[in-house]
Structure formats: C-alpha cells, structure tokens
Structure 1
Amino acid sequence: MGQSVSPVLVLPPTFEQHHDGFGVQCVRPRLSWRFSCSNEQTRNWKQTAYDIAISSNSTEPGEVFHVESENNVLVPWPNSEPLNSRARRFVRVRCYGKYSLFDGRDNDSDHDSVTEWSASSLLEIALLRNSDWKGGMITVSEPWPLGPDHSARPLCFHKRFHLSLKDGTIDRGRLYATSHGVYSVRLNGRKVGDQCLAPGFQSYHKRLHYQIYDIKDLLVTPGWNKIEIDVAAGWFASATSWARKRFIYGQKLGVLLQLEIWAADSSLPILVSTDASWSVSNTPLVSSEILDGEIFDQSLSVDSKLDNAKFSVRESPLAVSRLISPEAPPVRVVERLEAKDIFKSQSGSAVIVDFGQNIAGRICVRRVQKPAGSKITFRHAEVIQDGEVMCRPLRTAKARDIIICDGRELLDWHPQHTFHGFRYVEIAGWGPDDENCPLTKGSIVAEVMHTDMLRTGWFSCSNDDVNRLHENSLHSIKSNFLSVPTECPSRDERFGWTGDLNIIAPTANFLYDTAGMLGNWLQDLYLDQMEVTEHWRQGVVPLFIPNSLLRNGDGGHGWDPMPNGVWGDAAVMVPWGLYRMSGDISFLSRQYDSMVQYLENGVVRGQDGLWDPEQWQFGDWLDPKAPQNDSGRGTTDGTFVADCFLIASTQIVAEVAEKLAKPVEASRFRDTTLRLVHAWRDKYLTAAGLVVPDTGTALSLALSFDLLPEGGDNSTKAQAAARLFRLVRLNDFKLTTGFVGSAFLSRALTQSGGVELAYAMLFQKKCPSYLYPITMGATTTWERWDSMLPDGTANPGSMTSFNHHALGSIANWMHADVGGLEAIEPGWKVFRVKPQPNKELSWADTAFESRYGRIELRWTLEGELFRMRLRVPPNSTAVVSLPSDGRESEVGKREAKEQRVGSGEYDFECQFVQTQWPPKALLPPWGRAEF
C-alpha cells in the first residue's frame, strides 16, 4: 500500500528547552515537535521516520535530512557541522507514520502516511563566547550615587550614533544587553522589548544572563539614533532580605550592551558597544529597590535636569562572568486587572483599592495630575484587617511606591525595576474627591508579572470550592515563579528556597513548562553548592538559590552552611522531576555531579548512614501544631522526614547513574539504598511493626517512599495504611500536616485504598483544611493553613504569607487521581489514565500539553454510570484503568480492567458503585463539639 497524506499535523519545531528559537546558546541544538489531529477516526498513529529541512533563507526549500526513528522529542541536530554565533536557520519537519481508522466498532489495518511539512521555525544562535562581545561592562568613575535611603540610585547610560544606510536596506538589527543590576533599554525614545526586571536574579559572579532583542524596526536611517539603558539596583545591590545589607554582589552597578546592524549588502555589521565614550545621566527615579519599591520624581523627567549629572564613564572594575542566553523565558506583564472596588480606610487617612486577586506585579497609573510637590504614596498589602491594609506580615519590606508630582499630566506610569505581592493598594495623597483628577476604578490597574512560561496543565470539576482551591495553587505558582522560584512575592525574603520548590515542583511541572526556568536555576544551584570560600562547605546545598546570603567574612550578612533534608534533596528530586516530565536526559547528566556531591558531602550523617539527629532540620515545616514562631517543631520529628528523603534521593541517584551508563556507581548507590532502608527500619519500626512517629506525615512518607515491608493483610505496610486511615478519621478529616506531609498525604491515602478519606479531607472546611482558606476569601495559597484566623485577623506568627505555593501541592493529587493523568515513561510517551471519581463530583476535566500533543480527559458520573472521554495525542500510548471491576471498558467492548490504547479519541463507561461514602470520623460520644 502506498503512502497517503497523513491526517496528523506536525507543529513547528522547537529547540532545546526554548519556547522559540531566538537566542539558542548551543552549536547543535536538539529539536522537538508536537502533533495534532482533528480526525476522530484516526487511531494508533505512530511515527516511523522524519525529514528535517534546514535552510538559511525562508524562501529556499533547504537541505533535507531523512532519519528512521519514532522519536520526536529532543532529536539530534541532523547536520554534523556546528553552528556559529549569530547563525540563522529556518527549520521545518515532516513525519512518516502508520495509523488505523476506527469505524465505530473496530480498527482497520495500518495505513502508511506522510504528513505535510510543518511551518518553519526560525533558529538564531546566540553569542556563544564572551569574546563575541566587543565592548565591556561600563559604570561610573565616581562612587555610585545613593538615594535618600542609601540605596543605589538608578542612572541612565546613553549614546547617540548616526546611520547613513538608505531606508529599507537594513537586513536585521540585534541588541544584546545585560547588567549588574536590572535594566531597561530605549531606542529613539521607544522601549526595547517587553521584558521586565532583566537580566533577572542569578548567581552573578558565576553566570550572567543576557537578553537579545530584534530592533530593526526601531532604527532611524539615514539619521541620528539615540540608545539609552537605565540600570537600577535590582537583586544585584538591593537590600534583598531581613538582613538589609546592600551591594551584596558589588559596590557598582554596570551595563553591557552590543548593538549589531546588518545591511542587506554587507557581511559585517555596524557595531555600537558600551565603552568609555558613553554618557551617563540621572533618571526620574530617586530610589529603586526590590523589597522597598520606587520613588519617582516627575520634575526630574525634564531632559535638562537629567543631563545635569556630574559623572564620567569607565569600564567596570567588576569581572564579567560567563555570559549566557538563558533557556528560561523572561519575566513579563502577562495580565492586567481592573480595580474591583475603591473605599476609604477605617482611619480615613487614605483610600484602598481592591483588585480582587492576590498577585505578584505592580500597579499602572493610567492618568494622574497633581500640583507640583504633591506626593502620592502607594502601599501594597495582601489582606485587610480592621479596615486598614495589613502590612505586618511584610516584616521589613516597605513595598511602597511614591510619585512626587510636578503639576504636569502623568500617563501610564508604573514602577520600572521592582515588583510587589499584593491584592490591595493603599493610596495616600490622591483620592476620589480630588477636583481636577479624581481617583476612579479606571485610574489604576494591577499588572500581573511572572516568568512567562507556557501553560501546559488544566483541571476543573463540578465543585466551585475545589476549583477555587486549584486556581489558588495556580496563582501562587505564577506569583512565585518570577525569575527564580521564590517562596512568596511580598515580604522581606523572595528567595529561591530549595525546599519549597522541591515540594511544589510536581504540581508546577504539570501546570507550566518549567523546564527552561528550573533548568537555569539548577545550574545556579550547582555553582552555589560548589562555592569555593572559607565560609562554605562544598557539596552542601544552600537553603535558597541564588545563595545571596552567603556569609561574607567577619562582617557577614548570611548563614553558615546548614545541611538540611528536603531542602538539600532538591538537588536530586527537582532535576529528576524535570526529566520525568520532559524526557530530557540532559537534566540528569548536567546535574549528576550536584546530586552526588549532595549525597557524599552535603549530608551530616550518623553512624547508621542516616542523618545525624544532632543536625537541626526544617522537617515538616509549618505543621499546624507547631508553635507560631518555631515552625520546624511540629509533631513529626524533622530527622525522620530528612531520613525518608535521603533514602528516596539515594535511590533516584542509583537510577540516574544507570540511565547515564554508569553501572559501577549505579550498583554502589543501590547497595547504599538497601543499607539505609535496613537502618531506617531498625530505627523507626517497633517490634510490632508500627512506625514511630505515629503521625500523618510519617506514615504518608513511609508509604509513599516504599520503606515498609510488604506481605499480606498484616504486613507492616498494611498496618501503616490502617494507622493512617485511623488518624485521618480521628482528626475529623482535618489536616495535621505541614509543607512536606501535605504533598504526600492524599496520594498515600489513595494508593493505599483510602481514596474516600482523601476526598473527605478535600471537602472539609473547618480549620485546618484545604477549603478553610476558601471560606475566608483566599485567592492564593497561604503559607499557613490559618494565615488568617477565623475572626478575620492575620496570624501573629512571623511566618504568615498569603501567597506561598508549598501547601498548594494538593493540586498534584487533583491532576493525578481526581483527574486521572500521570506519566509512566519520561516525557509522557506512555501515560496512565486512572481517574478516581467520587459521588460528590458529577464531572472533572483534566488536560495536559505533553511533548507529543494535547491530552484531554473528561469524566462524568450520573448515578452509578461512569463515562469517560479521552484524547491521546499521536505517537504516544495511554494505559487506561477504570474505576470498576473490569467487566466493562470502551463503549461496546468487554476487556481487562487495564488496557493500552494508542492515539485517538475514545469513549469509556462502566458501573461505579461507591459504598463507603461518606466515611465516618472517629468522634467522642458528644460528637464534634469543641471544649
């Protein structure tokens, strides 16, 4: 049979982990492509080969490379010749495959087919070496000027240059830029790009990200052009913690820029680079810091005042580390929220704007005009208490922006180089009663900012409260994936805490394509982990990345190395999770030494090889029974938590070594895992087979990490499951777990046969519970289960954030067990479909954009009839399990309970009888009364 035109479409290829091909820092980038198919009769489509066409011009067909392979994820660059800096290629793909057609009852025989060519993707290689940069980092010759609060005052470096090219003869224009600090660029008065807070937060002394912009359409030719680059303290020099120490990475800010203009008839570019010939001036910003916000003096926006700066320019004395074009997408404004309400504060001294959603971002004032010298102050807060913005949880962060007006109209003003975590903004000095320019809902918007990752996962169901719970987790992940994965966007931390990320990563990896962002962050983790100073112990994983609180001699501003379980295990578990989600083995090869260093040098061990119990541990952080200001002292021993994670990490490293073809090391780590499991059982199992400590967190971890002996109904594992079931019922389905335990509890219950108990916990609304914050109006995940107390006041504990993603890990259970989607093979080549319905829900929808295409699953429950609609993308396989005893499956067929299906659209149904709902709590004779 000859080849027919395939009903499958190939989407444009991508390169490495970049969302697009602009600025790839790789000489032979790997390619991936996804599929789509709208023909409902097409099933079991499998790729057998592919063609890649590569050309230097979009109008040429290019050279075609044919490869016999079923792989469409991260396939090798087909040309053996490496690409050079700035190389441009147009790449398109077509695929060969086999498929069958479904006639309503059966699938017919295989059809050979070839797809149409995909649309072309532009690949443009970045500057691969520091030597590709012809200029240098520039700064001021004098000490860096300070603002009134002693912060680094923002400055503007600028240069004029003349182009004599004829109009229409520019082939392309590229601007490469970075800074010590955060920067923004203008060309001929127009902002370059839509990025915010570039180059982002990173380990500046080891790697420095730069950005690439297409500026062809902003150039004036023939004629004069002016380029300006503002630089502010950002993470480089702000007081970025409770320690309030500034200039952590250097005493001077600086900028590095290279402009390349290519004429159509020339093989060499016109270059404009930063050097001593540039000028420097003030900006209207009197101060700008990450935690404290900005002060904008409108009167200084007059050019004559800006150019009055008394500074000279020189090359920066600070070394420029390796320059990297990151795989992570940039921070952008991704959404704008209109004001929902404006009201006077209880004291009457200010007005408060409510945007209806807690976010990370900034405000934008659409229009304001006030008399000269008038000052407008914007204070940001997450909650209201007693009719006032509640700023105590921010601790030392001012989270305040100020406009000093000069009488002129000010349009579309927003802070340039900072962000805040907020739902509410208190405004002093401007209100609805102003005669000339009253404050209205239309006067101000909130701009949502985060790293602009592609959305990949979705979940919704018939219960509005559960949907809000899921949305809160989503919003907190967005808010805290801003350049680095922070713990909260509001108070005086905003660090890349390793433990918090380790807990939320499985959830985040489903909802977003995190590979580029977290891959970059992991490289900084390794570099900071291997810091070479007298104040650091190599191999120890810092508590947050970048490690900007690294102790600095006798005048140190940070912490000594603090080895810790869960937090340190992020070095192993985060790259492993990225590999499982993406299928990219480079996460393992690149981070392997980091993993080994952690196990061999980053763990303080006792004689049994487990953690030394004298080493303090964060443990199940913010267990609801922990003291308000001693959040690690919960009901589950922190060393127990750390030991469980240590065993899991050791087993993962054994698997990683095997996948990387390191058999000797794989065997060594497997043997170590077995020894640690035996030591764990000797330490934590009683003679009767009970787990000590007997807590929800301890039992969930023991079950989830498979640490317990099996063998029949009376096995230790069965006893642990029974104990966990009893504890959940004894606590009336309220939560007893903190950061760590909450990430494992529901899945441990479900996998042990207690899914009804997991659902009972999901629907509980009394504090502490998943839905309690929803009843209190939460729009993001809280740091504590009771960050807001039932009386509407903020928890007095110092750890009280209202936008903290860790406890949102319940969404992972929604995706995998309620929705029923989970990867079996890395990259979702084979995935599991196993929904666990409950009669309290009449339907649930789950979708995931895998590396093969879109997976969609919808189930409905009408009485005892369970129906499921499933879409499997081309070139992948689903392993389907229905919530029945296997008597019925796909409509019209009788098959085994578990079955494998190829690509296509399927309808399933079965009888679902739920006899154990609702489960009963173990209550005292007087019931739920509290004394």
Structure 2
Amino acid sequence: MTPPAQMIAPDDDLCGAPLLRKAFALEPGHGDVVSARLLVTALGVVEATLNGEPVSEDVLTPGWSSYEWRLRQAEVDVLAMLRDTNVLGLRLGNGWARGRLGWTGGRALYTDELGALAELTVRYADGHEQVVQTDGTWRAGPSDTTSNDLYDGQTIDAGRRTPGWDAPGFDDAGWSGVHVLPFDHARLTPYVGPPVVRHEEVPAQRVWTSPSGRTLVDFGQNLVGWVRLSVTGPAGHEIVLRHAEVLEDGELGTRPLRSARATDRYVLSGAQDRFEPTLTLHGFRYVEVEGWPGEVRPEDLVAVVVGSRVERTGRFECSSDLLTRFHRNVVWGMRGNFVDVPTDCPQRDERLGWTGDISVFAPTAAYLFDVADFLRDWLADLAAEQRHADGVVPFVVPDTLKSDPFPFRPDQLGATAVWGDAAVWVPWALWWAYGDEAVVRDQLGSMLGHLRRVQASLSPTGVWDTGFQFGDWLDPDAPPDDPARAKADPGVVATACAHRTASMLERMASAVGADDVAREAGETATALREAFGREYVRGGRVHSDCVTVYALTLVFGLLDEEDRTVAGERLDELVRESGHLISTGFAGTPFVLDALTDTGHLDTAYGLLMQQECPSWLYPVTMGATTVWERWDSMLPDGSVNPGEMTSFNHYALGAVADWMHRTVGGLAPAEPGYRRILVRPRPGGGLTRAETSLDTPHGRAAVAWRVDGDALLVDVEVPEGTVAVVMLPGRPEEEVGPGRHHLRGDAVAGTEVRA
C-alpha cells in the first residue's frame, strides 16, 4: 500500500509565495490511462497546475476551516490534462493559515511555515496505479510575488516571472529543495461546501481626478475580489492600487479599513503586462491608482468578483425601486461575505466568521442562494471549536480569538445569546429551507451542548441575566464607541433567545426521533417561559419597554393571549411614536416586522420598512449604497463617514429583513420543512402595487406574483410537482392548490390593517 503524501515546505521561504514542482512520466506497459485524480491542500493557499495549466477554476484553496482539526482537501479530475511527460506545479501563498487575522495584529495563527500536500493517482486500463505525491524530492523556486496577505494586499514583480516553470523541459537545477513537515493526516477532510471561484467581472465605470490630484476609479458596485489590469510601461516602474468602499471628502475613504492596507503593487517588466493578484482579497467599490504610465482608461482595469460557488435560488422585486434596490444590496452583501466562511465584513482588519451575523441572517441566506453545503461545512467547524471549548460556541468560527491577547475569549466569558444561538438557529434555518434531517442529526450534539451551557448560565430566578452579552448590538441609539449599550435589557434579550433555542431544539429533536433531547429541550423551554413571565412581564409590558424586547417576546412565543395583545399594541405605539424610524439592533431587527404583522399592525410594519430617513433600511439606498451597511448611519446624511472606529459598508446582518420581504411582501414561505407544503400569503401594503418572488425549492420552482388592479388583488402562483400550496388571500377562504400554475383573485387591502 502506498504511504500517504507528505506535507512539504520549501527550504527557503521565498517571500511567502514559493513555487513547487515535480516532473514525472507516465509508466509504460499498462495500456491507456482511464482515470487521473488529484488531491491537493495546503497550510496557506495553493494554486495547482498540470503542464502549465490550472487544474481547476478554484481560487484560495483550501479555503479557511478550523485548521487544527479540519483541513479540507480538494479533489480534481485531471485525466484530460495528462501527457506522456508531465509537471505538477503548486503555487503557495500565506492565506488564512499564515496571514494576518483579526484586528489585534495576529499573524501565523495556524502555521509558521507554508506547506503543500498533493497526491495524483493515475489509473491504467490493466488496473495498475501510479501515484505521484509530495515528498522530499520536489523542488522549490521563487515566484513573481514578493509579498502577499489577505488584508494588506499583494506585490507582483513581472520582472521576476519564470515562464515554463510548471511545464516539461524546465531546468530547475538552480532551485532549492524542500523538507517534510510534521502533519497529522487525520486532519484531512473532503470539501463539504463549495470552493471559492471567480463569479463575474465588473468593468470600471468612471475614472477621474480627486481634489488632491489623485486618480480614482469607480466600479459602480461595492464588491469583493480584486482588480485585474493590463498595462505597458518602463521596466521596474511601480503601479500602486489602493482599495476602499467609499469616498470621503472626494478622496479614497480608507479610515474604515483600520489597519488593513488593502494595497496591491505591480512592478512592470517593460513589455505588456497583465496582473491579477489571486493571493489577496479586497472589499471595495473605489480604487486609487498611483504611478500609471500615461492616462488610466476604464478598459485597462476590471474588477473580478470572488466568492464561494453558491447557486442563486431566490429572487424578489416590487413596484418600489428603492425596495428592489435594497434587496439587490442584500444579495451583493451576502455574496461578498460568503467567501468560504460567512464573515461579518470583507474589507477591514477583521473579516471573521461572527456567529451572531449568520445566526440572524441564515433564513435569508437559504432563500437567496443554495447554502446547504456551505453552512453545513461551517457548522462542522463550529462543532469542532465547541468541542474544544467545553461546549461554548465561539464568537467567531473558525475561532481566532482563542489565541488572541485581546480579552474577548468565549471560553472565559461563557455562552452568549444570538451569537452562541447560531449552533441551533442555523441548523433550524437549513432544516426549514431544505427539509434535510441530516443536518439536524449531524449537529444534535452541538445544539444540545449549547443549550446545556445556557442552562448552566441561568440565575436562581431562572432567567439568563448573568455573564457577558452582546445584547441588542448596534442599537442606533447606542454611542458610536459603545455599540452594546442598547435600550433593551440584556437579560430580557438573552432569556427570550434561550427560550427560542430550546423550542427549536425540541422540535428538531422530535423530528429525528431524539426523544430524550426533545424532552430536555421542551422542559427547558417551559421553565424559561415561566421565568420570563415572572421576572420581566407586568400586564403585557415587558421590562425595559423598547421595541426590541417586544419584538423578541412576541415572535418567540413568550406571552399568553391577553399579554400578547397588550404587548402588540405597545410595540405599535413605540414604532409610531418614533416616526417609523428603526430603533433596534442585531437582536431585534430581524423580528420586529413579524411582531407587528402577527399582532395585526401591518401598516406600521410597512411604515418601518418603507421609511427613508435615518435610521432605516432604505436610508442607505438613498445615499447610493450598493450593499447593506453595518451601522444604520455608517454614512451620515452630509456624506461623511460615521466617526466610530467600527464602520463597514458591507455587512449582511441588517439585511435579515429580506426574509420578511420574501414571506410577507412576496407571499412565499415554507408551510413545513423543505417546502413540501408551501404557504402563499401575500400581504400588500406600503403603497406597493405589485411584487413577485420566486424560489428554486428542493422540489422545483415556486413563485408568487401579485398586482393590485382597482379593488382586486390578482395573484399568479406556481407550485412545483410533488408539493401543495396553502393559499391565504384577503377576501376569500383559505384553500389548497396542487402543482401547476394558478391565477387567483382576492381583495386589494393595501394600506389597511390586517388582523392575524
């Protein structure tokens, strides 16, 4: 039996971007080659070539996982690329394993040396197998990259390029050797989620000179990736590209990047050069160009959009251009932050897999794109981190904070609501979206582990008012430098979330036959509900009396009918008193419109949704945003950037409202996990005259399109094979319709209250 491939590292670091090569010939006498499979991974990132050609379209392989326990290995069919004589090439970069991670300067958190592991298995017609793998015989040489970092950028010197280095016939006598690194092969795991790829190209829209005389380029869309450029100039001449999301005072707005340099440098060869920095990643709309020989033309630069290969499944548009644009912003924000890990932001010195963000956004994500495998892969990392932290769900996954000097470690601070609840809320969203019970079974231990850490955190009164909490993070009334200082009492938020988590786990465990888990979760949910009412509710009024606490209390089922009526009226009153301005943060925002809708205040919900003043969902759209912002006022009305240190213009969390838009404005929702039964219930309002939404469900395409025609609501419904739709339209009884297209008529109720 052939021993496994070895993890190898170059004897010289070679500027952190070495080239590795191995020449080999096919073995004669065994007939035709019938298959050729390449397995490849790295400590760092790797680009594999065979005979000078990339083996796949993937970039940033093997992505970012919890490397201590899970290092993914890409598998590629290279049969069509083989020749009689061959060269397997590997180009390495620092990536997440050795690059900078987090805002406190952490670097090389996973490895001090770059390493690569590859194994090519060639199978012949007679059954013979030839194995070419990384070992001590490989050679290492320099690339044209002299520095590379995901946060800081990449420097490429075209004069250092070595044509043909990964093709047969190249003389590598001047190259150095490699050595074998200690490596536990038990860490290797196949990809569960999709690879990272180039999605599309966005041409430059405008080139101009800033007030200070600098050359600026606008790509018209806040995106994630890099700029590919073509240029001719003197040998040794350097071009510098700096990236940012916004302009400030007419110049490139780099302050929100904090310490991330987001700068690429290119040294020209003297001939026509083409540069593409595939060992870095930027979140940007604007680029500042320095040192360009001659005049910069828009056609000289193109933005390459990079992200995980997730397929678009859900769509939405309506008669409001602003609301339709907002929905597009949600889509772009998600795309930019789903780069192997669901990150909080893609541009500054952070870019971490914050659990709180995906906890609230997962239902929206699962509608917009097929994220089943993407999030299953991430949940495997969450469970691995949790197992090594005594059951505590980290704030970020993969968990870089556990080795960070910053006093922000969950193993010391304990379980947290919303953030820790990702262990349950994300599997719940996947179960409802895809009906796949495997994710429930796979994550059952993780879900129960989190619940038990919550149980251990409860105070003697039975509520969760102990320990650290993010609370209603980024309440718009909180000071810019203290985003946790929200109006909502953190104990109310935490206890309500704990009840939701326990209730979800009870239902999921019951669905997969885990009766003991269901029983424990159900008992916990009952106890939390009783304690919540005893400690926090007085005659329908909820402690701290603000929008978020009513939103959570109502949506999470913590009130009896009498108190629910009072709480719903109070929520409606608070929102109206605010002038329909947002007053919620991370915890309350995803649920406030459901709370209003479910208690009969649809008009107020639409008033909140359609508001254009700051703070609101549509305010950033009126300011030219093309993604969702981190703060409601990341840009102030005068066009200046929020003075707070934490200001991103590409955060998907507050875009979680798109889930309500799909279900309530569009009228398309699952009536049971996996959409085998579909709920069709459009609820017009807000002055909208039409809307349509569609979803590629596990059973096929489902769609709802409606328009107001006088006093009639005209609705077109598409139901996929093997499913049934429950239709609820105003002015007609509830009914069920089967597969096919249906044209239905109800009463137009735009602008009126609709009682649940």
Output the TM-score relative to the length of structure 2. Answer: 0.95
Structural mapping, 1:141-180, within 5 Å: 141=11, 144=13, 147=15, 153-163=16-26, 169-180=32-43
**Structure 2 counterpart of 1:625, one-letter code:** D
Partner of 1:300: 160
Determine the structure 2 residue equivalent to 1:329: 194
What SS does the aligned partner of 2:488 have? coil
Amino acid at match of 2:138: W
**Aligned partners of 1:333 and 1:257: how far apart in 2?**
23
Give distance in 1, aligned partners of 2:428 and 2:633.
32
Kindly indicate whether the alpha-carbon contact (under 8 Å) linking 2:472 and 2:486 is maintained by their aligned counterparts in 1.
yes
Alignment of 1:494-893 (within 5 A): 494-531=351-388, 537-551=389-403, 559=409, 561=411, 562=413, 563-601=415-453, 604-613=457-466, 615-686=467-538, 688-710=539-561, 715-838=562-685, 840-884=687-731, 886=732
Question: Given residue 663 of structure 1, which amino acid in structure 2 is its aligned partner?
Answer: D
- Residue 359 of structure 1: which of 218, 223, 228 is its match? 223
Q: Counterpart in 1 of 2:168?
A: none
Residue 163 of structure 1 and its aligned partner are, at CA, apart by 2.6
Contact 1:869–1:907 (CA under 8 A) maintained in structure 2? yes
2:40 and 2:117 in contact (8 A); partners too: yes
Task: Give me the whole-angstrom Cα distance separating, in 2, the residues matched to 1:709 and 1:814.
Answer: 27
Deviation of the 1:454 alpha carbon: 1.1
* CA apart distance, 1:810: 1.4
Q: 2:349 is matched with which residue: 492, 501, 514? A: 492
Deviation at 1:719, TM superposition (A): 0.5
1:215 aligns to what?
Answer: 78
Q: State the Cα distance separating 1:911 from its structure 2 match.
A: 2.3
Contact 1:279 1:313 in 2 (8 A): yes
Cα offsets for 1:560-615 (capped at 9, x unmatched) = 523311100000111111111111111111111111111113562211333233x1
Superposition deviation, residue 320 in structure 1? 3.6
Structure 1 position 303, deviation (Å): 5.4
CA distance in 2, matches of 1:745, 1:518: 25
Tell me the SS of whatever aligns to 1:272. Answer: strand
Q: CA deviation at 1:463?
A: 1.0
Confirm or deny that 1:908 pairs with 2:744: yes
Give, in whole Å, the separation in 1 of the partners of 2:187 and 2:662.
39
Rounded to whole Å, the distance in 1 between the matches of 2:397 and 2:422 is: 11
Taking the aligned partners of 1:911 and 1:599, their CA distance within structure 2 comes to 45
- Secondary structure of the 1:736 match is coil
Aligned: 1:271 with 2:271: no
Q: Is the 8 A contact 2:318 2:690 kept in 1?
A: yes
CA distance in 1, matches of 2:3, 2:488: 54
CA distance in 2, matches of 1:509, 1:914: 28
Cα displacement (A) at 1:308: 8.2
Q: Residues 307 and 132 (structure 1 numbering): CA distance in 2 closer, same or farther, change over 3 Å? A: closer
Task: Give 4+ residue runs of structure 1 displaced > 6 Å after superposition.
Answer: 555-558
Structure 1 SS opposite 2:503: helix
3-state SS in 2 of match to 1:634? coil
- 1:479 corresponds, among 336, 343, 354, to 336
Q: 1:340 aligns with which of 190, 205, 217?
A: 205
Residues 479 and 297 of structure 1, relative CA distance in 2, 3 Å threshold: same
Q: Does 1:319 align with 2:184?
A: yes
Quote the Cα distance in structure 2 between the aligned partners of 1:309 and 1:248. Answer: 32
How many residues align? The count is: 746
Q: Which residue of 2 aligns with 1:460?
A: 317
Q: What does the per-residue CA deviation read over 1:466-501, in whole Å, with 9 as the maximum and x for residues that have no partner?
A: 100100011101111100000010011111100000
- The answer to whether 1:229 aligns with 2:90 is yes
Amino acid at match of 2:141: S
Q: Please say if 1:134 is aligned against 2:4.
A: yes
Q: Distance in 2 between matches of 1:514 and 1:186?
A: 29
- Residues in 1 aligned to 2:516 and 2:102: alpha-carbon distance in whole angstroms: 44
TM-score computed with the length of structure 1 as normaliser: 0.78
Q: State the alpha-carbon separation in 2 of the partners of residues 772 and 266 from structure 1.
A: 68
* Aligned counterparts of 1:908 and 1:619: Cα–Cα separation in 2: 44
Amino acid at match of 1:803: N
- Taking the TM superposition and a 5 Å limit, the aligned residue runs for 1:400-439 are 400-411=263-274, 413-430=275-292, 434=294, 438-439=295-296
Given that 1:551 and 1:560 are in contact with CA atoms closer than 8 Å, whether structure 2 keeps it comes out as no
User: CA distance change for structure 1 residues 839 and 642 in 2, over 3 Å: closer, same or farther?
Assistant: closer
Query: Shift in Å at residue 758 of structure 1?
Result: 1.2
Answer yes or no: is the 8 Å Cα contact 1:550–1:557 preserved in 2. Answer: no
TM-superposed deviation, 1:157: 1.0
Q: Secondary structure at the match of 1:740?
A: coil
1:368 aligned residue (227, 231, 239): 231
Cα displacement (A) at 1:839: 6.5
Query: Within 2, Cα distance between the matches of 1:167 and 1:473?
Result: 55
- The residue type equivalent to 1:137 in the other structure is M
1:205 positional shift: 1.4
Contact 2:729 2:747 in 1 (8 A): no
Q: Say whether the 8 Å CA contact 1:281–1:308 is kept in structure 2.
A: no
More off after superposition, 698-707 vs 315-324? 315-324
> Contact conserved, 2:606 with 2:686, CA < 8 A, in 1?
no
Deviations 1:102-148 (A, max 9, x none): xxxxxxxxxxxxxxxxxxxxxxxxxxxxx987321111346x45x4x
Task: Kindly provide the amino acid, as one letter, of the partner of residue 232 in structure 1.
Answer: G
Unaligned runs of 5+ in 1: 1-130, 148-152, 532-536, 887-896, 919-931
Shift of 1:913: 4.0
| Contact 2:104 2:406 survives alignment (8 Å) | no
**Structure 2 letter corresponding to 1:843:** R
| 2: CA distance, partners of 1:781 / 1:869 | 30
Letter in 2 for 1:736: S
Q: C-alpha distance in 2, partners of 1:540/1:238? A: 26
The structure whose Rg is larger is 1
8 Å contact from structure 1 (residues 294, 401) kept in 2: yes
- Cα deviations by residue, 1:2-46 (Å, 9 ceiling, x for unpaired): xxxxxxxxxxxxxxxxxxxxxxxxxxxxxxxxxxxxxxxxxxxxx
Q: CA, structure 1 residues 666+606, in 2 after alignment: closer, same or farther (shift >3 Å)?
A: same
Cα-to-partner distance string for 1:604-662 (whole Å, 9 max, x where unaligned): 2211333233x121111111000101101111122221111111111112222222323
What is the aligned-residue RMSD (CA, Å)? 2.0
Taking a change above 3 Å as real, the CA distance of residues 212 and 406 of structure 1, as seen in their structure-2 partners, is: same
Tell whether the 8 Å contact from 1:282 to 1:309 is kept in structure 2 after alignment.
no
C-alpha distance in 1, partners of 2:320/2:459? 48
Shift of residue 557 of structure 1?
9.0
> Aligned residue for 2:306?
449
Question: In the aligned structure 2, how far is the partner of 1:361 from the partner of 1:667?
Answer: 47
Q: How far apart are the structure 1 equivalents of 2:675 and 2:42? A: 39
Offset from partner CA, 1:714-757 (integer Å, 9 cap, x none)? x1100000001111110111111112211001111111111111
Partners of 1:134 and 1:539 in 2: how far apart? Answer: 33
Q: Is the 8 A contact 2:685 2:749 kept in 1?
A: no
Pick the aligned partner of 1:200 from 63, 88, 96: 63
Structure 2 match to 1:77: none
Which residue identity does 2:206 align to in structure 1? D
Structure 2: stretches of 5+ with no match in the other structure:
166-170
Structure with bigger helix share is 2
Name the counterpart of 2:109: 248
Distance in 1 of aligned mates of 2:80 and 2:37 = 11
